[in-house]
Amino acid sequence: MALVETRGLTAHYGDFQALFGVDLALEEGECVAIIGANGAGKSSLLRSLSGVLRQKPDMIMFEGQPIGALEADDIVALGISMVPEGRRLFPSLSVEENLRIGAYRRRGTGAWDLDAVYAMFPMLKERRTAPGNALSGGQQQMVAIGRALMSNPRVLLCDELSLGLAPVIIRDIYAALPRIREAGSSVIIVEQDIGQALKVADRVYCMMEGKVTLEGTPAELTREAIHKAYFGVAA
């Protein structure tokens, strides 16, 4: 049984349909990447998984239980937490408070607490009293990741980690991923940077116009196949 599974997932914003029957599975311990161009439906998929967009109950299963209709805060309590696109730190809270609020609905004891997050991103400890939005983009991304980890998630959803960051910073951020997986979280990343996604993922889904157009391990996927699934035309 997959840890997380979507079955024929659809999503609507008013009259606009963003997802058309998406089937996706995440096994325990796995890292799955979802790639696709702007507007392919990647973020709608993550927003559905995190409960921001509510769906029919059995469109999303977690450990065999239907969770599609749950609200975002109950999804966190189950052990699925999200690093939202654009970081979305709370400007009224300091760095440390931003991290602490991630533990608002913490699941029991686990690998992640303030010390563990500071050990992974030491520069956050130096800036722990600064307001969340006073940090550089890369540091904000570290806070957003740490904040999501503070609930000790079984599944970590990462939306566009590399967006707007310099390559050297992206490398530092992705360097944290193995540590996060070792600590017991399975990971779904949404990424426009195909190279980065292929490097870290066990399996890749490519989306276009609200549908999954390609699925496989990075080794299986040829450049041509990805190009076709990404843009809809052969390279």
Partner 1 sequence: MIWMDTIVQGVLLGGLYALFAAGLSLVFGIMRLVNLAHGDLIVLAAYLLLVIVSMLGLHPFVAALVAMPVMFGVGYGLQKFVLNRVLGPDILPPLLVTFGLSVVIQNVLQEGFSADSRRIPAGSLETASLPLGPVTVGLMPLLTLVSAIGVILALQWLFYRTSLGRAFRATSDDPVTASLMGIKPQRVFAQATGIAMVVVTIAALYLGTRSNFDPTIGPARLIYAFEAVIIGGLGSLWGTLAGGIIIGVAQTLGAAVNPEWQILAGHLAFLLVLLVRPRGLFPRATD
Name which of 63, 41, 61, 45 is nearest 53 in CA terms. 45
Q: Which stretch binds partner 1 (CB under 8 A): 10-18, 78-86, 183-191, 217-225?
A: 78-86
Report how far residue 133's alpha carbon sits from residue 93's, in angstroms, rounded to the nearest whole number.
Answer: 9
**Is residue 97 close enough to count as binding partner 1 by CB under 8 A?**
yes
Residue 133 beta carbon to partner 1: minimum distance, rounded to whole angstroms: 8
**Is residue 52 close enough to count as binding partner 1 by CB under 8 A?**
yes
Map residues 142-171 to x or -, x wherever contact with partner 1 holds by CB under 8 A. -----x---x--------------------
**Is residue 100 close enough to count as binding partner 1 by CB under 8 A?**
yes
**Beta strands 16-26; 186-191: pairing state:** unpaired
Phi, psi of 157 (to 5 degrees): -105, 125
**Is residue 44 close enough to count as binding partner 1 by CB under 8 A?**
no
Residue 46 beta carbon to partner 1: minimum distance, rounded to whole angstroms: 11
Report how far residue 143's alpha carbon sits from residue 121's, in angstroms, rounded to the nearest whole number.
Answer: 9
Tell me 94's DSSP state. Answer: B
For partner 1, the closer CB: 149 or 204: 149
**Beta strands 4-13; 16-26: pairing state:** antiparallel
Residue 171 beta carbon to partner 1: minimum distance, rounded to whole angstroms: 26
Residue 145 beta carbon to partner 1: minimum distance, rounded to whole angstroms: 13
Residues 102-131 that bind partner 1 (CB under 8 A): 102, 104-105
Report how far residue 213's alpha carbon sits from residue 95's, in angstroms, rounded to the nearest whole number.
Answer: 39
**Is residue 72 close enough to count as binding partner 1 by CB under 8 A?**
yes
* Alpha helices (H) along 85-193: 95-101, 114-120, 122-126, 137-149, 167-175, 177-182
Residues within the interface to partner 1 (CB under 8 A): 50-52, 71-73, 76-77, 81-82, 84, 88, 90-93, 97, 100-102, 104-105, 147, 151
